[in-house]
Structure formats: structure tokens, C-alpha cells
Amino acid sequence: MKIAVVGATGLVGTKMIEILLERNFPVSELIPVASEKSVGKEILYNGRTYQVVSMQDCISMRPAIALFSAGRNASIEWAPKFVEAGITVIDNSSAWRMDPTKKLVVPEINADVLTKEDKIIANPNCSTIQMVLPLSPLHNAYRIKRIVVSTYQSVSGTGAKAVQQLMNERQGINGEMAYAYPIDLNVIPQIDSFLENGSTKEEMKMINETRKILRDESIKVSATTIRVPVKGGHSESVNIEFANDFDLNEVKKLIADMPGVILQDDVSKQIYPMPIYAEGKDDVFVGRIRRDDSQPNTLNMWIVADNLRKGAATNAIQIAEYLLKYKLA
């Protein structure tokens, strides 16, 4: 199977190529795609060297699936052209997520919505993916009424330039700035641009995408997204109000039994999720689970995941695996 990775030289694209090999995805030919300035560069995959090609050249090579991670504008311009050539696109940008004609998929939750007719499939925002994964079984059991979430997002979510800014600041080097402010020894309460309602685009993504993935427009979501001086791995403090009461042991069992989720919740031994241990892993880690006694039927938890893997590349490849398994692409 020919597989294209669009944005192959970026952080997520590089991770996609790495994970395709890790998961033994049946790639007969890898087609790395990037901007014109990267065309001709060589990428090593599974012992073979592939040259980076342009968008148009990729289309002419007719891959079965194209994994897009080249940004919103590139996706809007090029994904339809890939589809016209019969190529299935799995897109990691925000371009198609809230399009009512496109599916927004976390495979463990809602891959069942996919059909052969779905030629552009949206990969959710990294922060949304890690939050909805453990919340999905709880919503089925107790019905979520409201979520209040604060995120603590690593600089790798911005890209290589932001990682370099953090590393430069750690070493006292003056360099290019990805943010308007220093990030080392600092916390920046802004991810993406601000909207008229005072929220950022990132916060609105979490609100809207959560409802779409969990298939319940009645869920109220309040999100505050924050950038922290961590290289990789996003963390979230999540407060969930349910329509029905719950048993804490049952809650923990539901979370532990959810595919792709690992329960790390033993405060007597100081066991809880942290990004330093989540980085490089595909699972979502959940801990600090406790009842919120300030109001009925409400729960607190702490969720951590590698934003480049399950938050982006791994989830996209899991979608591709589902398409392959059920012969949908």
C-alpha cells in the first residue's frame, strides 16, 4: 500500500513516519511530501531512502491514503485535490474537524461512524483526544452534563521553533522566538489566537470537538488552555459534572478498562501521571481521581498524554489501520 505523509519534515510528520514503522503498517511505498523548499530531501524509512516530493507529484503517484500534517491552509487547498484523484485523506489540521459532512474520529470511541464514502477524515485536536478517551466510558455510564478543563500544554504542540526557543532559553542563547514572551520559567495563558468571546481558538476546539466526538451537543464545556515550559506531553486538570451519581471504584474500573488508557492513581505512593513519563508512549494516562465535594455528581481527574503521538500521529495511523482492517480505503 502506498502511503503519503504530507508535511513529512515537520514534528508531527516525522512522528507519523516513525510510528508507521513501529506499528508495522503495511507500507509498500512511502511518499514523503513537504513544501517546495524541502523537495528533493531524502528520508530513510525501513532501510530504504525516499525523496521528498511536491503535492502535485504525490497526487500523480496515487497513494491509497495520505496522512496530512501540513497545516490548515494546505489542507483546505490540497485535500480536495487528493480526493479527486481517489486518495483517502486523514487530516491532522483544524480544517475539516467541525465540517458537518466530515467525520471527526478517535478510533477507540467512534470509528464505527466511518464508511467507504468518507474520503476526508479529520483527526481531532491533541488536547481533545486525550480528554475524551477516558471520559467516553464515563459519559456512557453516567451522562456528562458539564466539563471544566484547564490544560498545561508542552511547547512541542507549537512546533520545532517553539522547542528550540525553550532549549535556547534554558542555555541562555538568544534565538528566534516562537512566542511573544519567554517560555522557560514562565506560563503563557494563550494557545492560538483570541476570538471575540475572549476565548482562544484552541479553547473553542476543545468545546466543539468534545461534543462532536461524544455525539452529544448538550454537554457544556469550559476550557482554558495554557502553554507551559515542558518539551513534550500535554497535561489537563478536568472537572466533570454528571447527570447521575457514580461510585469511585466503578469510575476507576471503567477508565482502566478503556482501550488506550492507563490508570495511574495511587496517591499513597505518589503515583500519578506526568508528562516526563508519558512522552514517547501512545497511551493516555489518568490519575488524581477524586470526588468534588463542592457539588453533587462531580469528579476531578488529571490526564496526561504525548501530544505528538496519541494526540496527533498515532491517532491518525490508528484511523488508517481501521480503514485497512474494514477495507474502507
240 and 212 fall within a common domain: yes
How many domains does the chain divide into? 2
As annotated, the active-site residues are 126, 234
**pLDDT band at 269; cut points 50, 70, 90:** very high
pLDDT for 211 equals: 98
Pair 225, 153: CB distance under 8 Å: yes
Hey, what's the cell of 92? 491532522
SS3 assignment, position 44: strand
d(CA 137, CA 257): 9
What would the pLDDT profile of 89-138 be if each residue is shown by its tens digit? Answer: 999 999 999 999 999 999 999 999 999 999 999 999 999 999 999 999 99
Q: Tally the C-alpha atoms within 13 A of residue 117's C-alpha that lie toward its C-beta.
A: 4
Pair 6, 78: CB distance under 8 Å: yes
Pair 325, 271: CB distance under 8 Å: no
23 and 119 fall within a common domain: yes
What would the pLDDT profile of 127-175 be if each residue is shown by its tens digit? Answer: 999 999 999 999 999 999 999 999 999 999 999 999 999 999 999 999 9
In this prediction, residues 204-210 reach a mean pLDDT of 98
d(CA 76, CA 78): 6
Hey, what's the cell of 126? 491533541
Range of the domain at 16: 2-123+312-325
40 and 147 fall within a common domain: no
pLDDT for 185 equals: 98
173 and 299 fall within a common domain: yes
d(CA 227, CA 243): 32
279 and 151 fall within a common domain: yes
**pLDDT band at 219; cut points 50, 70, 90:** very high
Give percent of the chain with pLDDT exceeding 90.
100
In this prediction, residues 208-220 reach a mean pLDDT of 98
Exposure string of 96-109, with b = 16+ CB inside 10 Å and e = fewer, is bbeeeebbbbbbbb
What would the pLDDT profile of 289-298 be if each residue is shown by its tens digit? Answer: 999 999 999 9
Report phi then psi at 231, rounded to 5. -70, -50
Could you give the C-alpha distances from 261 to 128, 152, 173, 282, in angstroms and in order?
A: 14, 19, 39, 9
d(CA 191, CA 211): 20
pLDDT for 82 equals: 98
- Helices and strands per DSSP (H, E), number in the chain: 10, 14
177 and 241 fall within a common domain: yes
Report phi then psi at 281, rounded to 5. -115, 155
In the chain, alpha helices (H): 11-22, 55-61, 72-84, 107-110, 126-142, 160-170, 201-214, 248-257, 275-278, 314-325
179 and 102 fall within a common domain: no
119 and 267 fall within a common domain: no
Residue 300: which H helix or E strand, with range? Answer: strand 298-305
The reported pTM is: 0.97
pLDDT for 231 equals: 97
252 and 320 fall within a common domain: no
C-alpha closest to that of 22 among 328, 321, 325, 329? 321
pLDDT for 239 equals: 99
Q: Which CATH number fits the domain that encloses residue 260?
A: 3.30.360.10
Q: Which CATH number fits the domain that encloses residue 8?
A: 3.40.50.720
pLDDT for 207 equals: 98
33 and 174 fall within a common domain: no
275 and 317 fall within a common domain: no
119 and 157 fall within a common domain: no
Pair 41, 8: CB distance under 8 Å: no
What would the pLDDT profile of 14-50 be if each residue is shown by its tens digit? Answer: 999 999 999 999 999 999 999 999 999 999 999 999 9
In this prediction, residues 252-276 reach a mean pLDDT of 98
